[in-house]
Structure 1
Amino acid sequence: MESKYDLIKQDIANKIIHGIYPAGSYLPSENELCDLYGTSRETVRKALVLLLELGYIQKIKGKGSIVLDVSRFVFPVSGIKSFKELNQSQNMHSTTKVLTLEPRLVPTKDFGLDQNSELEATYIERLRTINDEPIIIDIDYVLSKVVNDIPKMAAENSLYEYFEDQLGLDISYATKTITVEEPTERQRQLLKIPPHKDVVVIRSMTYLNDTTLFQFTESIHRADKFSFVDFARRQKLKGH
C-alpha cells in the first residue's frame, strides 16, 4: 500500500505533467497543500522532497517550490521503472502486446559478456504502443536459475510487479548502455520506421539486492518519438 506522501507526490506530479501547475509557476504553499490533502506538514514536506529529487520542482528560499519544465513522455535513462509504472505516472495511454515468450540463451556478445557462457533464460519480446502508435520493442532475457516460469499474463501486465509482489524478489540496481543503431527489417516493420531512420537501443543488466544478475533487457525505441533525459543534482562532499 502506498504511503500518503507517495500519493500526494503522484497527484502533484500528474498536475505538473498536465499543466495544472505550469512550468515557472509556484506550487501552493505548504499550509495550502496541508489543507488541500488534509494531512500534516511533515507528510507534505516528504512529498515535496520526492518531487525535488525527481526534477519536478526547485525550492526557492523565501518563495516556495517553483515548477520545472518537464516533457510529457520522457523515458528516464537512470532509475529502474517498469513500463506500467511509467504509463501510470505519465498517463501515456499505452498498450503492451506480447510477441514472443519462450526459452532461449542470452546473446552474451550483445551485452559484452564472455561469449562462451551459456545462460539459459526466458525470452520475452513485447511491443509497446502509445496512442495507438508503435513506439518501443522491449526484449527481456530473465535468467532461468532465478525465475524459472513467467506466465504470459505477467508479461502483458508488469514483469516487475510479478517479480516483486508474487515472487518476492528484491530488485536493486541496473547498469545501462545507450547506442544509436540501424534497425533490423523486423524492427523497422513493427515500429513503422521510415527508411534511413535509426533507433535508440538501451541495453541493461539488472541485479537483485544481493548482487545476483537476473535480467538482460534491450529496449528499442523510435528515436523520433521519445526524449531520453536524466535529471541530476549535485551532491557535495562534506568538508568541500
Structure 2
Amino acid sequence: MVIAKYLQIAQDLTDKIKHGQYPAGDFLPSEPALAQLYSSSRETIRKALNELIDACLIQKIKGKGSMVLDINRFVFPVSDITTFSELNLSQKMNATTQVLALENRNLPQAIAHQLALTDPAAIFVRRLRTVDSEPIVIDEDYVLKKYVPAITKEQAQTSLYSYFEKELNLEIAYATKTITVEPVDELIAEKLHLQQPNLAVFVRSLTYLKDTSFFQYTVSMHRPDKFKFVDFARRKSAHGGLVL
C-alpha cells in the first residue's frame, strides 16, 4: 500500500512536534521552506498542514504561519462518534487496553426506564486504557444483547466497533452525549491514579443505529489532566442563517 506524499509529510511533522523539535508556541517553517525540505509542491504541503490542523496540532495565523499548539493533552472530539481505538491510531498514542470486566449485565435501571426498554439484557465491558504506563481512561459499555449476542475478550481488547460494523454489519449512526466532572469511587480512583479530590471527566453516550434503534450505553471516565475536549461550532445570524 502506497501512502500519499502529503500523509507522509504530515506524519513526519507530527512526530517532530510530539518529540519537541517544534515546541508549543513556535512556528513551523514556512510553506516554501517545507516544500524545499520535503521536495514537494506547496499544494502537497498545504494538504499536509491541513491534516495537522484537523488533528489540533497547529493553528494557522494570518501573516505569521503555522503555530504549534500544546499537545500535552489528547484531543477528544465531542461531536464525532470516535472510538478509543480510532483516537489511538489518529493521534499515535501507542495505547494499550486491559479488559477489567466482561459479563452479562442489564442496563442501569434509570437508562432502561428513560428509553422505555422492555428487554434491558446487555453485555457489560469495562476497559482500562493506558499510555506510556499512565492510566488515562476507564470505559464502561453496555451493549444490548438483542444486537450483539456475544463479545470475546479479544474483541473487547482490540476494537468493539470493528467487530460491530465489519462482522455483525451494524450501521452505527449517531449518539447523544453528556459531559460532567464528578468524583469517582476508590476503585476507579486507584485504577486511574487520581489524586484527591478524585475528580474525573465523565462522558455518557447513548448510541443508536441507522434505523434509530438504541443499542449501546457508554460511560467513559477520563483523567482531566490527560484530555481536552473539542467541538466545532458556527454562529448563526440573527435571521437564522449561517454567518460566513
| 1:96 corresponding residue in structure 2 | 97
Distance across 2 between alignment mates of 1:238 and 1:134:
41
Change (3 A) 1:59 1:129: closer
1:130 Cα deviation after fit:
2.9
1:50 and 2:51 matched: yes
> Residue 124 of structure 1: SS of its match in structure 2?
strand
Which amino acid counterpart does residue 22 of structure 1 have in structure 2? P
CA contact under 8 A between 1:108 and 1:117: conserved in structure 2? no
Relative distance call for 1:132 and 1:233 in structure 2 (3 A) is same
What are the residue-to-residue correspondences of 1:144-183 with 2, within 5 Å?
144-183=145-184
Match of 1:105 in 2: 106
Judge which range, 202-211 or 137-146, deviates more.
202-211
Indicate the SS of the match to 1:49.
helix
CA contact (8 A) 1:111 1:203 kept: no
Give 1:33 shift: 4.1
Give 3-state SS (helix, strand or coil) of 1:105's partner. coil
Q: CA deviation at 1:140?
A: 0.7
8 Å CA contact 1:97, 1:128 repeated in 2: yes
* Whole-angstrom CA distance in 2 between matches of 1:239 and 1:181: 36
Deviation at 1:172, TM superposition (A): 3.9
1:45–1:169 distance in 2 versus 1, CA, 3 Å: farther
CA contact (8 A) 1:127 1:138 kept: yes
Q: Distance between the aligned counterparts of 1:199 and 1:85, measured in 2?
A: 22
Aligned-residue offset at 1:219: 0.9
Question: What amino acid is aligned across from residue 95 of structure 1 in structure 2?
Answer: T
1:177 CA displacement: 1.0
Moved more, 87-96 or 120-129: 87-96
Aligned residues: 238
In 2, Cα distance between equivalents of 1:62 and 1:235: 25
Task: Name stretches of at least 5 consecutive residues in structure 1 with no aligned partner.
Answer: none
2:202 match: secondary structure: strand
Map 1:122-161 to 2 at 5 A: 122-161=123-162
| 1:207 matched residue in structure 2 | 208
Tell me how far 1:152 sits from its aligned partner. 1.5
Q: Percent identity?
A: 46
* Range moving further from structure 2, 1-10 or 118-127: 1-10
**Alignment match, 1:76:** 76
Give unmatched runs, 5+ long, in structure 2: none
- Name the counterpart of 1:16: 17
Q: After TM superposition, give the deviation of residue 107 of structure 1 in Å.
A: 1.2
Shift of 1:194: 4.7
* 1:34-87 alpha-carbon deviations (Å, 9 max, x no partner): 5555655544433333333443223334543332x2232324151333223333
